[in-house]
Amino acid sequence: MLFHVRMNVNIPHDLPSEEVADILARERAYSQDLQRSGEWRHIWRIAGQFANVSIFDVKDNAELHEILSGLPLFKFMEIEVAPLLRHPSAVRDDDS
Residue 73 domain-assigned (yes or no): yes
Q: What is the predicted pLDDT for the residue at 96?
A: 59
DSSP label at residue 89: T
Residue 90 domain-assigned (yes or no): no
Q: pTM for the whole thing? A: 0.90
Torsion angle of the four alpha carbons 31, 33, 37, 41, in this order, in degrees rounded to the nearest 10: 20
CA 5 to mean position of chain CA atoms: 6
Contact by Cβ (8 Å): 4, 53 = yes
End-to-end Cα separation, the chain, in angstroms: 8
Q: How many domains does the chain have?
A: 1
Residue 76 domain-assigned (yes or no): yes
Give residue 57's domain range: 2-84
Q: What is the predicted pLDDT for the residue at 17?
A: 97
Check which CATH number belongs to the domain holding 72 and give it. 3.30.70.1060
Residue 25 domain-assigned (yes or no): yes
pLDDT in tens, 38-62: 999 999 999 999 999 999 999 999 9
